Each structure stands twice: as C-alpha cells, then as structure tokens.
Amino acid sequence: MQYRRLGRSGLQVSELSLGSWVTYHNQVDATAAREMMAAAFDAGINFFDNAEVYANGQSEVVMGQAIKALKWPRLSYIVSTKFFWGLSKPGPDTNAKDTLNRKYLIQAIDGSLQRMGLDFIDLVYCHRPDPHTPIEETVWAMSDMITCGKALYWGTSEWSAQEIQAAWDIAERHHLHKPVMEQPQYHLFHRQRVEQEYARLYETMGLGLTTWSPLASGLLTGKYRHGIPPGSRGTVAGMDFLLPRLTDTTKNGAITQLESMASELDCNLSQLAIAWAAHNPRVSTVIMGASKLAQLQDNLGAANVIAKLTPEVMAEIDKITAGLAS
C-alpha cells in the first residue's frame, strides 16, 4: 500500500481507504465490520470514512465499537465523519437537519464523538453545501472545531469549485483553519467535476481529494448487466434511486469492453475501476465500500493494478468510457 499526502497538508493517507455508506449496520453487523476493518488495516489501509447520516448514526456506532475492540494505537488510523443531513429523531427538527449553521455543527461534532467513542475525529466534512447559511458562518464553526481539539482537518463534500474557493478565501482573510480536502464522487462515468471544475483548486489551494463510489454503486463490477442480483446494493431499502443508473444498457455495454481489458491486465473489472480512480495524482485516496470480507480482499488487489495503467491503457479506457461520462 502506498501513502499520499492529503492535499497540501502533512497528513498521509493510504491510496485506498474503506467507507461505511449503506453497508455498516444495514448490510454489515458489528462483527463483520470489525473483521473487514482489521483486514483493511493489515493490508495497509489507515483511513476509514463515515458520516453522521449513515444508518442514522448507527454506522458511527458500529465503527466506533470495532475501533475499540481492535485496540489500534490512535496515531495509526484516521477516521472521518460528515455533517449536513442530521439524524431522524422524534420531535421538531428545526436547526437539526439539512443545514450547516453554527448551532447544528457544534452539536453534531459532539454527537459523533460520543457515538464513535473518540476524543477527536481526524477529518470532518460539510456533507453538502447549504444555500441558506452564510458560508462565513460555516467556515467559522468548522475552524472552531479544530481550534478546540475536536477535529484535526476540515473539508467539503460535493461542493462546487466556487463554493470551496469562497470558503478558503474567508478562512484566509480571517486567519482561520482552511478547508483541506473535498470528497466528490469520481469514477469512469462521473469525471468532469474532478478533472475539469476543480482543476484550478489543486494549484491555488492544494486541494486534496478523498473520492467516493469508484465502482459507481456497483455498476462497474459488471453484476448488473443482466438485472438486479439478490443481496446487491440495488435491492437495499432506500437505494431504488440507483436502479436507472445500474441498469443503463449503454454503460453496461461499455462494461463488457472494460472486462476484456481487465482480463488482459490480469485483474478483474472492479480492480481496474478502483485502480483507474487511484491513478489520478490529484486523488489522495479512493474510498471503497464492501459488504463482505471476500469482496474487500478482492478490491484490495486494485493496489497492484495502478502501476499497470500505462498511457496506452488509459487512452484505451478513455476511448471506451469518456463519451459516457458526466
């Protein structure tokens, strides 16, 4: 496993990392989560991604229980969480959901710390932009989390380049902690934001990327070419919005060609897709998801494929997928 700096910071993250969206608590119980986190750690992964909203807070609980049981030295691992959507609870939800106001953020970090059983969280993200809260208010709140020792670095997820730049400029002007990283979706069929929109931010800000969905929610595994298999993400409650993407006939046709390329590189399609995302030097780490230990172990093989992606191979991949990418 290779390690890369998180943007312009000094923090080093493994080029592949493990996330918990959809899986923890929903598809993966505490025992399975512990086994997968242990296997990932043994393979060199040091970054584990989470969010307040995942499984309505229970994903953080499951990850926290696993960390406690594994007894890793605190310097040896990095964990994250993200704030915006809040938790579904009985009673009024004013200032508790779909916001980045100061009141919500300051209370949200305390809730995540309690659920994960940690003294601080390494990376905290604004999970989406909030058009109803001034960016300056959000920047001050995120910076204060770091100042008081509850978090170490902060960043954004699925913000526009303009919004990220505005946040950075506010922090620069007021001598606050600046956003260090962005967490965008990035895979063979979703590329423009990372490769075009953010291009100037890599130079001006030293923006780091912790990208998610390298397999396009499973599309790039090839398992959806003939419908929705039982037990797959496409069958998980609340994930029905993914079905049109997973069953797209044009993209599934391109996947057949990519599988042939993967075979020539002595890897499988999932490994090729993950390696492709990690091949981008602007990407600090690629967040993988897994619902089974065998799936995780297979995906970890992507680390050995990155070096095989020569300019000629990358050009051939582009020829197959670029016209289908957004």
The structural domain count of the chain equals 1
Average pLDDT, integer, range 301-319 = 97
Q: What is the mean pLDDT of the chain?
A: 92
Six token digits for residue 226: 């003939």
**Alpha carbon separation from 269 to 36, 81, 201, 260 (Å, rounded):** 21, 29, 31, 9
Please report which confidence band the pLDDT of residue 291 belongs to, taking 50, 70 and 90 as the band edges: confident
Residue predicted with more confidence, 15 or 25:
15
Please report which confidence band the pLDDT of residue 27 belongs to, taking 50, 70 and 90 as the band edges: low
From 45-54, 240-249, 291-300, the region with the lowest mean pLDDT:
240-249
Residue numbers annotated as active site: 54
Whether the pLDDT of residue 241 is over 80: the answer is: no
What are 81's strand-pairing partners? 124
Please report which confidence band the pLDDT of residue 178 belongs to, taking 50, 70 and 90 as the band edges: very high
Please report which confidence band the pLDDT of residue 224 belongs to, taking 50, 70 and 90 as the band edges: confident
Structural domain of residue 239, as residue ranges? Answer: 3-324
Entry pTM = 0.92
Q: What is the pLDDT of residue 26?
A: 64
- The CATH number of the domain where 251 resides is what? 3.20.20.100
Of 129, 131, 125, the residue nearest 145 (C-alpha): 125
For tokens 């170490």, name the residue: 152
pLDDT tens digits for 248-271? 778 888 999 999 999 999 999 999
> Contact 96/89 with Cβ under 8 angstroms?
yes
Q: Which helix (H) or strand (E) holds 211?
A: strand 208-211
> Cα(104)–Cα(98) distance, rounded to whole angstroms?
10
Which ranges of the chain does DSSP label H, i.e. alpha helix?
30-42, 58-70, 102-116, 135-147, 161-173, 192, 199-204, 243-246, 249-264, 269-279, 293-300, 311-321
Q: What is the pLDDT of residue 158?
A: 98
Please report which confidence band the pLDDT of residue 24 belongs to, taking 50, 70 and 90 as the band edges: low
> Cα(68)–Cα(48) distance, rounded to whole angstroms?
14
Average pLDDT, integer, range 55-64 = 93
**Alpha carbon separation from 16 to 131, 216, 245 (Å, rounded):** 32, 16, 24
Q: How far is CA 160 from the centre of its chain?
A: 16
Residue predicted with more confidence, 223 or 115:
115
Q: What is the pLDDT of residue 89?
A: 79
Give the phi and the psi of residue 85 in degrees, each rounded to 5. Answer: -75, -20
Whether the pLDDT of residue 208 is over 90: the answer is: yes
